[in-house]
Every structure is written in C-alpha cells, then in structure tokens.
C-alpha cells in the first residue's frame, strides 16, 4: 500500500512503506474539512510517536490548528482490544497552522473527560502541558514526535536535556546508527542448532548489561553470517538493545554489549557505527540508566525503534571527559556482574549530567513502579549525597 501526504509518495521510502489505515482517514479528513471547520477523531497513539507518522504530524501541524491532544490508556478495557494499546483524542481546525497544543496524557477512566468543560483548551487548567511546534522541533527533531508528557515537570526535564545535548544520531553528537541483522524467518535456512556455529542472539536473551548466551536457540556459520550481513560486524563486540520492551515493563530500554563472534535476529537492534569499546560501555550504561529509560518511555508503546533511540539527547565524550570515563567504567563493571552500589552510583552520575534537581530525579524514579524500591532508593540516596557535597 502506498499513500501520499503533502505530495510525498511514501511507497518510495522503505522505512515508511506501510500505511496504517488511520493515517489515510486522518489525511482524508484534513482534505475534506473546510477552512474554519472542525475535526475530532479517536486515533491510535502511534500518531504521536511512530516514525512512520512523521509526515502526517507535519501535515497536521502545518495545515491545521491542532488545539487539543488527549492520551487514553486502555488498561480498563474501554476498547475491546488488547489493554496495552493506547489512543489519542484530537481536535483541530484546518486552514491555519498550529501555534500551541494543549495536552493531557495517561487518562484511564473516560469519565474524566467530562471535566474538560466548555473553556477553550489553550486556557484550560485541565490540560497540564502546552506544546508549541518550535518546542517539538527542539526535543524531537524534524519528525515532530509528541512525547507523552503528563506534567510540566516532564516537559521541563525533556526540554532541558534537549538543550544540553544533541541527539545520539546527529552529526553534532555521536552520529550513531542502529539496525537489525538476521531475520529469524527469512534467514531460517542458515540457522543451525546451538553449538554448531556462532550463537544467534534474540531479544529475549538481552538483559540490562548482560547477554544470556547459554539460552540461545540457534547458531550460524561465520561464512553464512558474513554473506547475509554483507559485512564482518558480527566479528566485533557491539552495543545492542531489545526491540520489544513496553513502557509499562520494569525498564524499557534494555541494552548490552554483544560479544564478538555472534549474530542477532530482527528482535535486536545493533550499533552499526564503529565506536571504541569504552564508548560502547558508556552508551550501554546510559541506555540502562533510569534517566535515559525515562526519556524512552515518553515516546514508546511496545517497540523501541531506531528513530526513538537515535533521537535521544546523549552527551558526547569531549563534553564530559571525567564523567565519560567514570560511567564507561561502571558500564564495563556492571556488564560482568550486577552490583547495587555501582548501579546506584551510575544512576546518580547520569542524573547529574542532565542537571536534575532532587525533586525531578525522584519524579523520574517514581515512574518505575516495577523496579524494586531498594534499587530506586539506593539511586536517590547516591544522588542526594553527591548534591549535598
């Protein structure tokens, strides 16, 4: 299926070649509604964050005054589909570009919607967050992804981080790119039983800082890996993270450094940019930290895409030389064994990098209810002790 948004043929871009039907309906609604008319739709939450919906967001913000955006979780089964699916309610007026969007995310009970009242959304206290297109460009780049910001605190933290550091994938930052390697279905003919070649890692084998090579189901000959990957990157260690990890899991961005002489399937994204090992352990440490996981959770439902990770604000080594060495060393240590004290120091150090206050760091920690309270408390106390010095 191909579709056109703003005159662009999406079939020509392999990363966006599949259009969800809601995208077609929204584009059609914008085209049919007269200037000064109103659009009100219930849409999947992917409109706000999916990489493939970027042209649609650009269309919506440039050709409509998008005045309100409300995120509804389906935890109570309001809609007869899987309860992990989230939805957006949008209201917009075609004919003028968006100046400011009033946002409220995280609603579970539809009865709450009755409290909106008749007051214009842009001036209503019912909406805790107001976002301008200019701010979206700063925190999300040209893709204009709209994070699920539930409070002014969320907005302040993300805005500051985006001001402090460039995105991971930008030329001003690391210029880092991630991608998949093997496909467990398409490349099935080359996969062997364990022990007959190099191990093949799947997403479920990745844990924070660690790869469970003892649980792999497949192996592959090095020559077949080289042929399928069209490179020798399987021969070197490389940072990897799990594709599927929902925003309600214990943590969402789950990363580890894959050892040399292994391959991975499509449920893992691997670093394609050659980086020194110390740099990879630094990134691994940041990826598994509470702060960077928090950034990811603002943009993720069930899949951690490369677009999400490459847009993360990550400090470059030359900007933080002392912290870079310390955090890389902690990442290497935690990749050999878990140590609660080292993990707490890591999280405290990362919180310092992003210039968080104690209240902001506690706010972030509270968004991880499935993490053991002792791990969260240890991180907070380590941070507080450094701030009080």
332 and 203, same structural domain? yes
Which residue is associated with the tokens 């209503």? 124
What does the pLDDT read at residue 187?
95
- pLDDT tens, residue by residue, 331-360: 999 999 999 999 999 999 999 999 999 999
260 and 383, same structural domain? yes
Identify the CA nearest to 331 among candidates 292, 263, 283, 384: 283
237 and 97, same structural domain? no
Tell me how many domains the chain contains: 2
Residue 111 lies in a domain: yes
- DSSP character string of 110-150: GGGGGGS-SS-GGG-TT--EEE-HHHHHHHHGGG-------
54 and 192, same structural domain? no
Domain boundary at 150, 167, 201, which?
Answer: 150
Residue 346 lies in a domain: yes
183 and 144, same structural domain? no
What does the pLDDT read at residue 362?
98
193 and 71, same structural domain? no
What does the pLDDT read at residue 18?
56
277 and 333, same structural domain? yes
Domain boundary at 150, 169, 204, which?
Answer: 150
Residue 71 lies in a domain: yes
The domain of 115 spans 4-150
Domain boundary at 130, 150, 170, which?
Answer: 150
What does the pLDDT read at residue 109?
87
- pLDDT tens, residue by residue, 126-148: 899 999 999 999 999 999 999 99
* Distance in angstroms (rounded) separating the CA atoms of residues 38 and 66: 10
CATH number of the domain bearing residue 128: 3.40.50.150
Task: Say what percent of the chain tops pLDDT 70.
Answer: 92
310 and 265, same structural domain? yes
Residue 259 DSSP one-character state: P
What does the pLDDT read at residue 14?
37
* Distance in angstroms (rounded) separating the CA atoms of residues 12 and 270: 25
What does the pLDDT read at residue 292?
98
Residue 161 lies in a domain: no
Alpha-helical runs (H) found in the chain: 21-32, 46-49, 54-63, 133-140, 152-164, 222-229, 277-287, 290-297, 306-310, 321-336, 340-353, 358-365, 373-387
What does the pLDDT read at residue 36?
84
What does the pLDDT read at residue 3?
38
Identify the CA nearest to 284 among candidates 147, 136, 176: 176
360 and 265, same structural domain? yes
Residue 227's contacts (CB-CB under 8 Å, 6 or more residues apart) are none
What does the pLDDT read at residue 9?
37
Reported as type and span, the H/E element at residue 264 is strand 263-264
Tokens of 69: 């955006």
234 and 118, same structural domain? no
Q: What's the predicted TM-score (pTM) here? A: 0.90
132 and 77, same structural domain? yes
Residues of the chain with pLDDT under 50: 1-17, 120
201 and 302, same structural domain? yes
What does the pLDDT read at residue 114?
83
CATH number of the domain bearing residue 214: 3.90.220.10
């Amino acid at each position: 299926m191909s579709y056109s948004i703003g005159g662009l043929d999406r079939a020509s871009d392999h990363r966006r070649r599949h259009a969800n039907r809601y995208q077609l309906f929204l584009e059609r609604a914008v085209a049919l509604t007269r200037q000064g008319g109103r659009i009100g739709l219930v849409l999947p939450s992917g409109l706000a964050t999916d990489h493939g919906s970027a042209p649609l967001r650009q269309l919506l913000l440039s050709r409509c005054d998008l005045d309100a955006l409300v995120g509804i979780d389906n935890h109570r089964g309001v809609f007869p589909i899987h309860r992990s699916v989230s939805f957006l309610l949008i209201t917009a007026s075609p004919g003028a570009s968006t100046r400011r969007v009033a946002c409220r995310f995280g609603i579970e009970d539809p009865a709450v919607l009755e409290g909106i009242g008749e007051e214009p959304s842009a001036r209503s206290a019912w909406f805790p967050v107001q976002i301008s297109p200019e701010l979206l460009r700063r925190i999300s780049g040209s893709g204009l992804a709209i994070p699920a910001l539930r409070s002014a605190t969320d907005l302040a933290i993300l805005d500051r981080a985006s001001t402090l550091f460039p995105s991971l994938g930008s030329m001003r930052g690391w210029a880092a790119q991630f991608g998949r390697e093997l496909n467990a279905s398409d490349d099935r003919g080359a996969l062997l039983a364990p022990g007959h070649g190099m191990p093949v890692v799947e997403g479920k084998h990745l844990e924070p800082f660690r790869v469970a090579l003892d649980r792999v189901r497949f192996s592959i000959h090095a020559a077949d890996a080289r042929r399928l990957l069209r490179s020798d990157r399987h021969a070197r260690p490389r940072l990897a993270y799990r594709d599927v990890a929902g925003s309600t899991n214990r943590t969402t961005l789950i990363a580890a450094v894959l050892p040399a002489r292994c391959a991975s399937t499509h449920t893992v994204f691997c670093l394609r940019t050659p980086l020194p090992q110390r740099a990879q352990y630094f990134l691994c440490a940041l990826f598994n930290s509470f702060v960077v996981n928090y950034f990811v959770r603002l943009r993720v439902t069930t899949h951690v895409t490369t677009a999400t990770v490459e847009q993360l604000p990550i400090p470059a080594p030359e900007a933080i030389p002392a912290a870079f060495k310390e955090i890389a060393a902690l990442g290497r240590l935690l990749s050999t064994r878990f140590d609660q004290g080292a993990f707490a120091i890591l999280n405290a150090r990362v919180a310092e990098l992003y210039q968080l206050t104690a209240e902001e760091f506690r706010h972030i920690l509270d968004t991880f209810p499935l993490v053991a309270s002792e791990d969260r408390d240890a991180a907070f106390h380590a941070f507080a002790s450094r701030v009080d010095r």
